[in-house]
Structure 1
Amino acid sequence: MNEQSTSLPYVESKVHPGRWYALGCLMIFYAVSMVDRFILSAVAQPVTQSLGLTNTQMGLLLGAGFAVLYAVAGIPVAYLIDKGNRVRIILAGVLLWSMMTAASAFTVDFTTLIICRAGVAIGEAVLTPAAMSLIGDMFQRKERALPTSLYMATGNIMATGAFLIGGAVYQYAGAQQLFPDMEAWRFTLLAVSLPGFLMIALFAFTVREPARVESHPAESTAVGRDALVPFLNDHKSMFIPFFIAVGMISSLTLGVISWAPTLLVRLHDLTASHASFVFGSVGLPTSVLGTLCLPWLATKVQKAGRQDGILLVLLLCIAIPVPAIIAGLLLDQYWLLVAAFGCCMMFLPSISVMTCLGMQLISPSRLRARTVAVNLLVINLFGYTVGPFLSGLLADRVFTGPTAIASALATMAAIIGPVAFLGFLFARRNFGLMMSAQRD
C-alpha cells in the first residue's frame, strides 16, 4: 500500500523557530519521566521490607499498577492533544507525575503506593503522544526521522540511566542530614521528583505552541474513524504475529529491567545502591551502543536489498540476549549475570525503537502516528503489566527462596524467547512486501 494509492493527504509542516530547543526540552522531560517511572525498581528491596510487601504486590507496583492506567489514559489524552494546546497539556502531565512521585515518599502501605503509581502513569501518558504531535508540526517531513529517533532513544537510554541516578541518590540519601529521620528510599523518591517541577517553569516560559498541520476537516474525520482499522485488517498477516512478538518480548524486557537490581541484591548480597549502580553502569553504555548500532545495521541491510532488514535485526535482538539471560540467571556466577544484563540491555530495549521505526516505514503518512501508537500500546500494556507481575507471581506461587525471581525470569525467557522469535519470523515476509510497496 503506497501513499500515492491512498486518499490520505499530506500537508507540509512549516519550519518552526526553536524546534531543536523544544526537542531538547522534550527529551529532558522524557529522561525525567523515565527516572520517576523506574525509581521504584531501583529501591524495590528497601520499599518491600519497609512496607511489608510481597513479590506479587511489588510486581503489580512495577508493572500493572503503572501500565494499565498508562495505556488506558492514552486514549482520552490523545483526544485532548488533538484538540487542545499541547504545551499546556504537557505541563499539566509533568506537574501531575512529579507531584505523585513526591507523594510516593510519604506512602504507608501497598494501597497508598499504588494510588501514587497510578497518578504517575496518568501524568506520563501525556508526554509521548504530545511530543510526537509537536515534532510532526515543528519539523518538515524530510527532517522528522532524526528528532523522532533522538526522542525515542532518550527513553531507551534512560531505562538504565534511571538506575544510575536512582542508585546515586539512594546512596546520598543514606548519609544526608537534611531529613535525618526519613528512610533513604523515601528521600530518594522525594528528591527525584524535583527536576520535573524545575523543567515546568523553563518549558512554560520558553516554548510556544506551533501551528498545527491541518487537513480538510472531512478528510481528517475519515482518517480518524475509518482508516486505521481497515489498514490493520488488510495487513493482518503481518500485524498479528508482529504485535504478538512485540508484546511477548516487551514483557520479558520489562521483567528483566524491573527486577535486575533486586536480583543482584538477593543473589549476590549487594546493597540496593550498589546493585543499581552496577546495573546502570553496565546497562547504560550497552543500551546506548544498541540504540546507535542496531537501527544503523537495519538500514545497511535494507540498502543492501533486503526490505525486511528491520525484521532480520529484530530476530537477532531475540536470538542473542535470551540464551544469555537464561544462563546468567541459572548459573550462580556474579560476573556472568552482570554480562547477561549488559547483553540484554544492548538488544532488548532497542526492540521498541526498531518496531516503532518499522511502523513508520510501512504506514501511509497520515496513519504513521496511529500505527506507532498501537505499537506503543502493545509495548506498554504487555511489557509493564505481564513482565514484572508474572515474574513476581511465579516467584511467590511456583518457586521459593532467594533464587525465586531468577528462576521465574529464566522460565519466562525460555517460553517467551521462542514465541517472539517465531512471531517476527512469520511477519518478516509480509513486512518486506509492505516496505516494497512504499514510495516515500
Structure 2
Amino acid sequence: MESPYPSAAVAWYAIAMLGLINALDSIDRGILSLLIQPIKRDLGLSDTEIGLLSGIAFSGVYALVGLPLSRLADTRNRKLILSFGITLWSTATALGSLAQNFWHLFLSRAGTGAGESLKGPNALSMISDLVPREKLARAMSLYSMGIVGGMAFSLIAGGMLLGHFEGRDIAGPLGTNFRDWQIVLLLVGAPGIVVALTFLLTVKEPVRRGRRSAEKPPALEVLRFIWANFRFFGFFLCGVALLQIELTGLLHWRIPFYERTYGWGPATAGPLMGTISLVTTPVGLAIGAWLGERMARRGDPGAMLRLSLIGLTSALPFAIVQPLMPTPQLAMACSAVSLLCSSIASPGYVAAIQVVTPNEFRGQVNAIYLFMISVVGSAIAPLAVSLITDYVFADETMLRYSMVTIAIVFGTTGLAMKYLSLRPYCVMVSRIMEEERLAGEVHR
C-alpha cells in the first residue's frame, strides 16, 4: 500500500512554487523576442542570426544536457536538481547583459538552455506525485499559469523598461555602459537566484508513486516502452513538435511583426499583449481544468487528450488570420481568442503524458516530450520564420506572410497528428484503468 498523498496545503503550495518557477523559465526564455529590434540596432544582426540565438543556441544545449540528465529525475532528489537549474539559467540570462557581439549572446542563451532543460522532467514528475490523477488537470493548469504570468510579465515590464531606458546608456563597472536591452536582461535574470533558494528551503521532495521497481530503469527499457506504444507516442510527439513550430514561430516574432506592420514598438505592443495574456489565459486555463476534470469523472479514457484537441482546433483558425488583419486592434483581438483557446488545451496534453507513463519512466519520457517542444519545435520555429523572411520574400516588412505560412503548414499538420494519437491513447488509458480496478479488488 502506498503512502497517502500530502495534505492539500503542502501539495498546492509546492505546485504554486513550481508555477512560479515556470514563470521564471518563461521570462528568461522569451525575453529575447521583446529585445529583437534593439539588439539588431546595437549589434547589427540579421533576422537569421536572431533566429539562431533563439533556436539553436538555446535548444541545442537544452538537448545535450536535458536528455542525459533526465534519468536523474527518476531516481535522485528532484528538488535539488531543479534548484540548481534555476540558479544556472538565471545567472546565464543576467550575464547576457554583458554581451558585445553575437557570440557573447550565443553563450548566454546556451547557458539559459542548459539550466532550463532541468526544469521540465523534474517539475512534471513532482506534480504527478503530489495529487491524484483526477486532479492532474487542475494541477497542470496552475503549473501552466506560470507560463502565462512569465510571458505577460516579460511583455509588460520589459516593454515599460525598454520605453524608460530607450536610447540611454547606464554606466556600469570597469568603464562599461549598458544599453536598454542589456539592462532588461540583467533585471529579469537576477531574481531567479532568490526563488531557487526559497524553493530549496520550503518545498519537500514528494514520495514517488506507482513505481513497479525501485531500481533505475535502463534507458533501453524506456525506449522499449515507447516503442511498444508507438501508435500513441509517435503521432503525439510529432504533433507536439509541429504545433510548437507554429506556436513559437508566431510568438517569437510578434513584437517585430507589430513594429514592422503597424508601427507599434515594444513599449506599445508589449504591455498591451501582456495585459491581454493576463486576462484571457487564466480564464482559458480555468475552463480547461474544469472541463478536463468533468470529462475524467465521467470515465472518458481520452479525457485529457480530447480536451487538448478541443482547444487547439478552436485556436488554429485565429492564429492563421491574425497576421493578416488590417489594423493592430483586430490583430490583437484574434491573438486574444487564439490564446484563450490554446489555454483551454494546455492542461490536457501535459497531463496526458503523465497518465500513461509509469512513475519510474516519467523523468525520461517527459524529457523526450520536452525535447520535441524545446529542441525540435523551438529550435526550428524562429529560424524558419526568419529564413522565409530573408530568403523567400527578401523583405523584412513581409514578416506577416512568413508567419501565416508557418501557421498554415505546421499548425494543420501538427493538429492532424494529434488527432491520430487519440484512439491509441484511449486504449492505453482503458488498460490502466482496468489494471487499477483489478488491483483494488485484490486489496479488498
What TM-score do you get using the length of structure 2 for normalisation? Answer: 0.85
Q: Is the 8 A contact 1:85 1:209 kept in 2?
A: no
Q: Is the counterpart of residue 427 in structure 1 residue 421 in structure 2? A: yes
CA change 1:370–1:296 in 2 (3 A) is farther
Question: 1:356 aligns to what SS in structure 2?
Answer: helix
Native 8 Å contact 2:161 2:184 kept in 1: yes
Q: 1:87 to 1:295 in 2, by over 3 A?
A: closer
- What is the aligned partner in structure 2 of residue 12 from structure 1? 3
Q: Letter of the aligned partner of 2:259 in structure 1? A: V
Displacement of 1:54 after TM fit? 0.8
Tell me the number of residue pairs that the alignment of Structure 1 and Structure 2 aligns: 428
Alpha-carbon offset, residue 42 of structure 1: 1.2
Return the letter of the residue paired with 1:194: A
Aligned residue for 1:127?
119
Superposed counterparts of 1:386-397, under 5 Å: 386-397=380-391
Report the counterpart of residue 417 of structure 1 in structure 2: 411
Aligned partner of residue 213 in structure 2, secondary structure = helix
Q: Deviations over 1:197-248 (max 9, x none)?
A: 33244345x33653754999x9344744454323322222222222221111
- Please name the residue that 2:185 is paired with: 189
Offset, 1:390: 0.6
Aligned to 2:249: 255
Amino acid at match of 2:373: I
The 2-side partners of 1:357 and 1:91 are apart by 23
Number of the residue aligned with 2:160 = 168
Out of 261, 267, 272, the residue aligned to residue 273 of structure 1 is 267
Answering whether residue 330 of structure 2 is matched by residue 339 of structure 1, we say: no
Counterpart in the other structure of 1:28: 20
Secondary structure of 2:178 counterpart:
coil
The answer to whether residue 69 in structure 2 is matched with residue 74 in structure 1 is: no
| Compared CA separation, residues 141 and 86, structure 1 to 2 (3 A) | same
CA gap 1:262/1:140 in 2 versus in 1, 3 angstroms: closer
Quick check: 1:242 aligned with 2:227? no
Partners in 2 of 1:13 and 1:122 — Cα distance?
35
In structure 2, the partner of 1:5 is none
Deviation at 1:36, TM superposition (A): 1.2
The Cα of 1:74 is off from its aligned counterpart by 1.0
Q: How many angstroms apart in 2 are the aligned matches of 1:112 and 1:339?
A: 37
**What SS does the corresponding residue of 1:53 show, helix, strand or coil?**
coil
How far apart in 1 are the matches of 2:319 and 2:5? 47
Q: Does 1:210 find its partner at 2:205?
A: yes
Q: 1:302 Cα deviation (Å)?
A: 4.9
The yes-or-no answer on 1:308 pairing with 2:299 is no
Structure 2 unaligned runs (5+)?
Answer: 437-444
Which residue matches 1:48? 40
The residue matched to 1:151 in structure 2 has which SS? helix
2:221 is equivalent to residue 230 of structure 1 = no
- Contact in 1 for aligned 2:74/2:361 (Cα 8 Å): no
Asked if the contact 2:322/2:331 (under 8 Å) is kept, the reply is yes
1:116, distance to aligned residue in structure 2 (A) = 0.5
Give 1:53's aligned amino acid: L
Which residue matches 1:296?
290
The one-letter code matched in structure 1 to 2:390 is D
* Counterparts in 2 of 1:42 and 1:57: CA distance versus 1, 3 Å: same
Q: Please give the residue correspondences for 1:88-107 in structure 2 after superposition, counting only pairs within 5 Å.
A: 88-107=80-99
Cα distance, 1:119–1:350 mapped onto 2, change above 3 Å = farther
- Cα deviation for residue 157 of structure 1 reads 4.3
Q: Alpha carbons of 1:295 and 1:312: their partners in 2 closer, same or farther (altered >3 Å)?
A: same
In 1, Cα distance between equivalents of 2:315 and 2:397: 20
Letter of the aligned partner of 1:130 in structure 2?
A: N
Stretch deviating more after TM superposition (299-308 or 10-19):
10-19
Unaligned runs of 5+ residues in structure 1 are 1-9
- Aligned partner of 1:198 in structure 2 is 194
> 1:213, 1:301 → 2: CA distance?
26
Q: 1:214 to 1:423 in 2, by over 3 A?
A: closer
Counterpart of 1:7 in structure 2 is none
Instruction: Give the alignment's TM-score, normalised by structure 1.
Output: 0.86
Decide whether the 8 Å contact of 1:356 with 1:376 is kept in 2: no
Is the 8 Å Cα contact of residues 11 and 131 (structure 2) preserved in structure 1?
A: no
The one-character-per-residue Cα deviations of 1:315-338 (angstroms, maximum 9, x if unpaired) are 333333322232221243222211
Kept in 2: contact 1:360–1:371 (CA 8 A): no
Question: Which residue identity does 1:422 align to in structure 2?
Answer: A
CA distance, structure 1, for counterparts of residue 73 and residue 303 of structure 2: 34
Letter in 2 for 1:182: F
Q: Identity over aligned residues, as a percent?
A: 24
CA distance in 1, matches of 2:400, 2:343: 20
RMSD (CA atoms): 3.0
Name the stretch that deviates more: 191-200 or 358-367: 358-367
Q: Work out whether 1:379 is the aligned partner of 2:373.
A: yes
Deviation at 1:413, TM superposition (A): 1.3
- Cα distance per residue 1:332-387 (max 9 Å; x no partner): 32222111221232233654532121112233444444433332221212221111
Q: CA deviation at 1:80?
A: 4.2
Give the conservation status (yes or no) of the 8 Å contact 1:61–1:117. yes
Which stretch of the first structure deviates more once superposed, 96-105 or 287-296? 287-296
SS across alignment from 1:348: helix
The one-letter code matched in structure 1 to 2:142 is L
Instruction: Judge conservation of contact 2:308–2:346 (CA < 8 Å) in 1.
Output: no
